[in-house]
Amino acid sequence: MIALGLEGSANKLGVGLIRHDMTTTPPTVTILSNLRHTYHPPPGEGFLPKDTAQHHRSHILELVKDAMAEANITPKDISVICFTKGPGMGGPLTSVATVARTLALMWNKELVGVNHCVGHIEMGRQITGAENPVVLYVSGGNTQVIAYAEKRYRIFGEALDIAVGNCLDRFARVLNLPNDPAPGYNIEQLAKKGTKLLDLPYTVKGMDVSFSGVLTYIETNAPALLASGEYTAADLCFSLQETVFAMLVETTERAMAHIGSKEVLIVGGVGCNKRLQEMMDQMASQRDGKVFATDERFCIDNGIMIAQAGILAYQTGYTTPLEKTWCTQRFRTDEVFVAWRE
């Protein structure tokens, strides 16, 4: 059984092909291809939906062809076509979904619409082997602390305003850092050179977090702090990372205590950050626990995670009828019925 996965909820366009060998128990999983093409706006700017959608429309057919050539398969080998149904940016989502529908009609294949967040979780579980972890999902558009219970991924806590990745990205614009390979990555590299910690607003409300206050504070004060020479850009990146990551570690630890888990799985683009992984590992070690994380191939948005989540749903008999293949910018993780897990 082979699934084609198409991801395009933000500025990353991903195409992936995954094979599940159903003759073994559990099925043997093989990644056949995992290609990605990223839209990079100029430094100091974010990516607009219309420009991102145009990027996806311009590159997706070539990416599908390249992925199939790398996997050495033809359309007749594909069992199901999976696409991101949401959440995400409207224009990019619909551009990719249109291609998924077209290919399904051309090749007479079933469709499966996938929740982007569940795709991250299932790919993380597959790659790391984590059994029943508390999941910290951190990206440019989402920040959630999640645990599985009774056929759903339950959200224990989340960002009340902007996501942690959006907070980091927007501060990168203040410093005019490049968007290539990613603004958050460039903040991470600069933060390694920081030595002076600036006291920033720390906002944890129960299991939820808020990043708009800390962002407003550092955006407002950065010009004067830099001009005075009291702090460097590296110091400010270091301070912002330490503060927002501490908030995430606190809420994740509380979720671990609540469900009695000793595993933490970090997924999403911000999950690539080595400092976040290090801070989480220090906390987990104190609880005799373990942190699971993946590298940029699987942390950052990709098509293979959509193929993985889609093929798991497809194996339970789930498909998305053509008339229901619309996309939604708001699609909560806990709305998905996880029929494939015990």
In whole angstroms, what is the distance from residue 326 CA to residue 105 CA? Answer: 15
CA dihedral for 236, 242, 248, 251, sign (positive or negative): negative
Q: What is the C-alpha separation between 92 and 38, in angstroms, rounded?
A: 12
Where do we find the tokens 């076509």? 81
Residue 120 is assigned to a ligand binding site: yes
Flag whether 273 is marked binding. Answer: yes
Write the burial class of residue 152 (CB in 10 Å: 0-12 exposed, 13-18 middle, 19+ buried).
middle
Give 264-296 as a DSSP string: EEEESGGGG-HHHHHHHHHHHHHTT-EEEE--H
Cis peptide before 42 (omega within 30 of 0): no
Give the pair of three-digit tokens for residue 125. Answer: 């579980």
Alpha carbons 47 and 41: distance in angstroms, whole number:
6
In single-letter form, the type of residue at position 56 comes to: H
Instruction: Read off the tokens for 275.
Output: 């400092």
Instruction: Tell me if residue 54 falls in helix, strand or coil.
Output: helix
Q: Is the CB of residue 204 less than 8 Å from the CB of residue 143? A: no
Across the strands, what pairs with 21? 28
Question: What angle is formed at CA 231 by the lines to CA 226 and CA 234, rounded to 5 degrees?
Answer: 95
**184 marked as part of a ligand binding site:** yes
Residue 140 marked in a binding site: yes
139 annotated to a ligand binding site: yes
Strand 290-293 to 152-158 pairing: unpaired
What do you get for the CA distance between the two ends of the chain, in Å? 21
Q: Is 138 annotated as a binding residue?
A: yes
Strand order in the sheet with 80-86: 28-38, 12-21, 2-7, 80-86, 110-115
The binding site for substrate comprises 137-141, 169, 184, 188, 273
Binding residues for a divalent metal cation: 116, 120, 137, 301
| Binding-site sequence positions | 116, 120, 137-141, 169, 184, 188, 273, 301
